[in-house]
Amino acid sequence: MTSVIELRTFPTLESARQDLLDVYADVRADLLHLPNYAVATFAERLDRHSEEAGWVAILGYDQGEPVGYAYANTIDAEDRWWRRVSPAPAAEYTDRNAVALKEIGVRAPWRGTGTARRIHDALLVGRDEPYVTLMVNPLAGEGKVHRLYEAWGYRDIGNSRPSAASPVLTAMVRAVR
């Protein structure tokens, strides 16, 4: 893939929602039959997350076609994100607000091109929070996704199961800069 990916920032959901849903459906196509990964379930999470403090999305476009995305919001020490992590995260991470990277995905033809990293890094530009956290299914891509996040500087801090339909996820954290 030798195209130039244009990154667009969306501080509100309205104009990005359909592109986010379309890319999500393509990225997670093999999992959509599972309740936690269904497009309708994702849409509910997306709508809820977009109302939270500090929400922003970055979408990557190749010649106008949405090819990848990430979105995040700000969380504080009392956020359910942290309360569901076991063991409890160190105060170092929770004593100030953090960025919770809620979703990231890139369509297959653009994987391995650096697109995901560019979207990720653009999402963190200008953030005031000292740490960014994410949750990953350790089985995703036969462990490749978890190893990718480790290569980006994230480290494991615990496990979480956000809902009964969700697999057990690995909570990871790294400095924003």
Q: Tally Cβ neighbours within 10 Å of residue 141.
A: 12
pLDDT of residue 1: 47
Task: Dig out the tokens for 168 from the structure.
Answer: 């057990």
Name the band, by pLDDT with cuts 50, 70 and 90, for residue 2. low
173 pLDDT above the threshold of 70: yes
Task: Dig out the tokens for 68 from the structure.
Answer: 């990848």
Going along the chain from its start, the domains and CATH numbers come out as 6-175 (3.40.630.30)
11 pLDDT above the threshold of 50: yes
157 pLDDT above the threshold of 50: yes
Computed over every residue of the chain, the mean pLDDT equals 94
Question: How much of the chain, in percent, has pLDDT values that exceed 70?
Answer: 98
- DSSP notation for 16-42: THHHHHHHHHHHTGGGTTSGGG-HHHH
Residues 6+ positions from 21 with CB-CB distance below 8 Å:
39, 42, 43, 46
Across residues 48-60, what is the average pLDDT?
Answer: 97
